[in-house]
Structure 1
Amino acid sequence: MKIEVKNLTKRYKENVALNNVSFTLEGSKLYGLLGRNGAGKTTFMDILSGNILATEGEILIDGEVPFDNQKLTESVCLIKEGDNFKKDLKIKDVLKIYSYFYPNWDQQLADELIDTYNLNKNAKIKALSKGMESALGIIVGLASKAPITVFDEPYIGLDAAARKKFYELLLEEFETDNRMIILSTHLIDEVSLMFEEVLIIQKGSLVMQEEAEYLRNSTCAVTGTKEEVKAFIQGKEVIETKELAGVMTAYIYGNADDAKAQGLRVESIPIQDLMIYLTEGKKGA
């Protein structure tokens, strides 16, 4: 499926959540949607899933607007970090409701994941811990088999082992199904190697959209004496510099193989660090 975001703006009275954002997502791909709290990520996901309307501009899914469009809303499954389900429902009721809504629902997978996360189908949502409710959200998102599956911080309350299991399940389902998965997360270091493409949103604007592999190969950190690094970065695109006790590190775009020949230390930049630098309003952003 193809998502076209065209000059998308969303205002809440005086607050501008999204400001004239445009980009395209297409095909079976695992996207990382990154940004700080309040950047506009959740607003974008709500418009994409047909929950709310844009103030200006539009989102098109295969050329159609998702709002009040049942065919498209059946194709998008959005799992937020909380409050996905009515508190008085039982787990088995939630699974049944979603099985009616999503045409490609996989009940066998849902049952297997219920066992994996050790959930009681007769338990009410209001009786679940935060981690159990998150696990149910993960189960619904994966079992929906929706062509566009969106997870917005879906692991709140899960311990490291349970999160690791989610990542493994996510990759398994992504590899077996022809669907687009969008994952919004703050635990970037845990999942960055899964991303095929990364989008970074800051203060309602798109800061970056790039293939993850390109980011890994086209950015680096160069460390040496202040004089050596300053000389090396002349004419290069610099994201950020740091100094400590006469030692300077420069985060740059581009290949730094020649830095090694000059005796400088070269390291890759984790995507989490890159996101932080690009959303601090520094020169590189």
Structure 2
Amino acid sequence: MTAVIEVRSLTKRYKDKKALDDVTFDVRKDTIYGFLGRNGAGKTTAMSIITAQNFPTSGSVRVFDEEPYENARVLSRMCFVRESQKYPDDAHPRHALAAARLFFPNWDQELAERLVDDFQLPLRTPIKKLSRGQLSAVGVIIGIASRAEITFFDEPYLGLDAVARQIFYDRLLADYAEHPRTVMLSSHLIDEVANLIERVLVIDRGRIIMDQSTDETRDAAATVVGPSAAVDDFVRGREVIHRESLGRVASVTVLGALGAAERAEVEAAGLDLAPVSLQQLIVRRTQHAAGQPVSQTQEVHR
């Protein structure tokens, strides 16, 4: 494995709050990551420090085996598209794209022009007069057309409708297939991006709680459904991260992949296995890590 980003014991403190708490992880070359977590979990802070737009309280970051801060060799190889990107008041989208063309050595102008058409972006409208979706499109176009070796998308598609978001996913994946690079995609729309991402990096309350391949993540839990007593017998001794009850029927999500023998045991007990989506798993793992109750009972009144 070739790591293009190495984060070691990274801590960022704001007064009495830790935005990042002794975080350590590596980011692999030519891989699409889902950098996932709740609002305020530390995603933007981590990406800002990696791209030298913020400073750590302690710990270290190395990108391409170098310190990124005030390092033009490193910074020109990274693109950070953030949801709150600011532009000069008199700037138009064509100005933002022209500036990006000068900064990023791998910039593809033809690709940028195709993306402008795809997103129907008005190039001569002042950026301050763009809709929320059009403003997001400016960042998405820069992020894809830059073809930077490392690209961070920090919720850049807020305001895009479902069709525009799908265009983003399709164009990113198609260009990644022809021009592999490292992409870190921060998103709340986990199930929408599930088919794009190859590795999952989940942060909660400033700490990394998951760092594994998407396939490993999907196999990391199972939901067993059936009569409550039979379900309870099967899950006894396992780590339960979510439970729902509806009358006498229970649905319980447990951590750990089920082998062939265990699946046969589920079938013999008359129970069913329900799929656990990536979003469900991450939400439930995050709740579990926070110590929230795993039991949720719904009563049926007749």
Contact 1:240–1:282 (Cα < 8 Å) also in 2: no
1:274 aligns with 2:264: no
1:109 aligns with 2:104: no
Looking at structure 1, the residues matched to 239 and 286 of structure 2 have their Cα atoms a distance apart, in angstroms, of 16
Looking at structure 2, the residues matched to 69 and 142 of structure 1 have their Cα atoms a distance apart, in angstroms, of 23
1:254 aligns with 2:221: no
**How many residues get paired?**
285
SS of residue in 2 equivalent to 1:65 = coil
Looking at structure 1, the residues matched to 278 and 89 of structure 2 have their Cα atoms a distance apart, in angstroms, of 37
Q: TM-score, normalised by structure 1?
A: 0.96
Unpaired stretches in structure 1, ≥5 consecutive residues? none
Shift of 1:118: 1.3
Partner AA of 1:239 in structure 2 = I
Matching residue of 1:49: 51
Contact 1:238–1:283 (Cα < 8 Å) also in 2: no
Q: TM-score, normalised by structure 2?
A: 0.90
Looking at structure 2, the residues matched to 183 and 155 of structure 1 have their Cα atoms a distance apart, in angstroms, of 11
Alignment of 1:140-159 (within 5 A): 140-159=142-161
Deviation by residue 1:152-172 (Cα, 9 ceiling, x = unmatched): 111111111111111101111
CA-atom RMSD in angstroms: 1.6
Unpaired stretches in structure 2, ≥5 consecutive residues? 295-302
Matching residue of 1:182: 184
Question: Identity of counterpart residues, as a percentage?
Answer: 38
Distance of aligned partners of 1:126 and 1:62 in 2 relative to their CA distance in 1, 3 Å threshold: same
Matching residue of 1:124: 126
Q: 1:71 aligns with which of 59, 70, 73?
A: 73
Deviation by residue 1:94-139 (Cα, 9 ceiling, x = unmatched): 1111111111111111111111111222221111111001011100
Partner AA of 2:40 in structure 1 = G
Deviation by residue 1:254-278 (Cα, 9 ceiling, x = unmatched): 2151312321110121111111112
Contact 1:239–1:282 (Cα < 8 Å) also in 2: no
Shift of 1:46: 0.4
1:87 aligns with 2:93: no
SS of residue in 1 equivalent to 2:46 = helix
Alignment of 1:142-221 (within 5 A): 142-221=144-223
Shift of 1:240: 2.1
Looking at structure 1, the residues matched to 13 and 171 of structure 2 have their Cα atoms a distance apart, in angstroms, of 36
Looking at structure 2, the residues matched to 143 and 31 of structure 1 have their Cα atoms a distance apart, in angstroms, of 18
Looking at structure 2, the residues matched to 284 and 102 of structure 1 have their Cα atoms a distance apart, in angstroms, of 48
SS of residue in 2 equivalent to 1:7 = strand
Matching residue of 2:138: 136
Q: 2:8 aligns with which of 6, 9, 31?
A: 6
Structure 1 segments of 4+ aligned residues over 4 angstroms from their partners = none
Contact 1:34–1:184 (Cα < 8 Å) also in 2: yes
Contact 1:99–1:144 (Cα < 8 Å) also in 2: yes
Deviation by residue 1:45-94 (Cα, 9 ceiling, x = unmatched): 10111111111001111221211111111111111113343332111111
More divergent stretch after superposition (195-204 vs 120-129):
120-129
